[in-house]
Amino acid sequence: MGNLNETEKWEEKIYQLETSDPVLGGADGISNRAPRQLANRTKWLKKKTEEAAQSLAEHVRSRNHPDATLTAKGFTQLSSATNSTSETLAATPKAVKAAYDLAAGKAPVSHTHPWSQITGVPAASLTAKGTVQLSSATDSQSETEAATPKAVKIAYDLARGKYTAQDATTTRKGIVQLSSATNSTSETLAATPKAVKAAYDLAAGKAPVSHTHPWSQITGVPAASLTAKGTVQLSSATDSQSETEAATPKAVKAAYDLAAGKAPVSHTHPWSQITGVPAASLTAKGTIQLSSAINSTSEILAATPKAVKAAYDLANGKQPADATLTALAGLATAADRLPYFTGADRAALATLTAIGRAIIAKGSIKDVLNYLGLGEGSALPVGVPVPWPTATPPAGWLKCDGRAFTKEQYPVLARVYPTLRLPDLRGEFIRGWDDGRKVDTGRSLLSGQAATFIRTALQDYYGYDLNTNVKVGIAFATADSVITVGNPANPKAGNNSDYVPASADNSITGIQRTAEDNFTGAWISMRPRNVAFNYIVRAA
């Protein structure tokens, strides 16, 4: 946030913001036009006021004034001496105090001191009361300053999701209240054209900054009193009770000579001797203890800028509560309950089991898989084909569709399939590896095998010979190409090996008792009943 660019200039008219004007900041923003014009007038007025004050100061410094005597008012020279007999000098408060303290013997029990003479005043802290400096900052971490109600209000309004425009100060832009007063010392109000004109008219036509007057032309010179400066008449009396005359050095000496060895003029008091200091409250000023707590409801402690900053940072950047958050806030929380949404801005609670809590507490997918017994070394290790009922595998799994993969992607899977390619199990049955049993010889792991076609030996026999040995049983083809073989080469032969040279024999020998026709070329293909699943493997 920057500061307004102020110029010593009298603005004839002040722009009025209209309801149709946009909110636009910046050096030339319309929202800053009226404050900038008021700031220009204020700076111009400040200069004129300073010039008038300087003129008055020069006037006071004029030397054409009569001296004060015992019978006439006038100017006099001050003296702090306590042994002088002069009746043309004026005693300073220092000289009077020295004589008074010397005569009285000591300071009275009930007396006051200006704040500048009070020493050892403790500063307020988080553990003790004391004096404290105010701060309107909302980003301070100080624990030795007290937040003003303005800072607390900014943080409070921000926490409630509101935006409150900041007040303008001498160091920050913002909104400001106008004032037509010409005797105000406020630094938070802006002067109206009426106030500026009154000050300007007052200063116009006055004497130049540097000028003099004979004493006869000086009128309205105030007389000195206990509450105001002014001219004073001297007096050498030592028994006078006047509060409008000034003691001469002679009177001071008489009082001084009356006593000696009394308390010095300048002395201090430790804080422990200062009594009757009021405590601050909601209705009265006083000392106060600081607190950085953000959950306190105390009305007798002062929040430190650190507490204000904590509240400000907590609220800063957050959006106001909406219907979704309201729905969640309306749930009665309890142990083992998990919120979920039942619709737009509607929420409910589900019971969270011990297993659910355990899964939520896991820090990674690997930890969850290990917990479920699906990790490496579990009952279902990486690489095992698993039937899956949908076309899309779950997260962490791959389809067995013959795809290639890299060792960098899935190092564990690469140890199971070192060729870095998954088997293609689409439309395939899985068969146990022979592993030396000699039921399905010649097979290696992950090798494929074509479908088997069968036909009976009776189908291989061709003719009507009742005396020829024939093989009755089932022959099975070793390859799909066998089914392309035509009719048997020797239709009169009884040995089926003549007719199916490419088949693997699994028949028995016997004599056909009844002549049968040959079903040449009629192969039978068979498959079991089945259900289609999608084979998948865990990838890791």
* DSSP state for residue 135 in the 8-state scheme: E
- DSSP calls for 1-53: -------S---SS-PPPPTTS----STT-GGGHHHHHHHHHHHHHHHHHHHHH
Q: Three-class SS of residue 513?
A: coil
* DSSP state for residue 436 in the 8-state scheme: T
Would you tell me how many other CB atoms lie within 10 Å of the CB of residue 473? 15
Distance CA 399, CA 537 (A): 6
Q: What is the pLDDT of residue 384?
A: 92
Q: What is the pLDDT of residue 391?
A: 96
For the entire predicted model, the pTM comes to: 0.27
The region, left, alpha or beta by phi > 0 then psi within -120 to 50, assigned to residue 371 is alpha
Report the chain's C-alpha Rg in angstroms: 54
Question: Which letter, b or e, does each residue of 147-158 get, where b requires 16 or more Cβ atoms within 10 Å of its Cβ?
Answer: bbebbbebbbeb
Distance CA 14, CA 36 (A): 9
Q: Rounded to 5, what percent of the chain is helix, strand, coil?
A: 25, 20, 55
**Annotated domain spans of the chain:** 30-111+123-290, 323-352, 383-540
Q: What is the pLDDT of residue 515?
A: 39
Distance CA 269, CA 277 (A): 14
- Strands 469-477 and 337-343, how do they pair? unpaired
**List of residues 6+ apart from 160 with CB closer than 8 A:** none
Beta-strand ranges (E) seen in 137-257 are 145-147, 177-179, 189-191, 233-235, 245-247
What are the beta bridge partners of residue 301?
Answer: 289
Distance CA 465, CA 461 (A): 10
Angle at the Cα of 485 (from 479 to 489), degrees rounded to 5? 135
pLDDT means per 10 residues, the chain with 540 residues, are 77 80 76 80 87 80 71 81 86 81 69 79 84 86 86 78 69 82 86 79 72 79 86 88 88 78 69 84 88 89 88 72 71 78 80 82 81 64 92 93 94 92 94 91 88 51 46 44 39 39 39 40 62 92
Helices (H) then strands (E): counts for the chain: 11, 21
Question: Which letter, b or e, does each residue of 94-120 get, where b requires 16 or more Cβ atoms within 10 Å of its Cβ?
Answer: ebbbbbbbbbeeeeeeeeeeeeeeeee
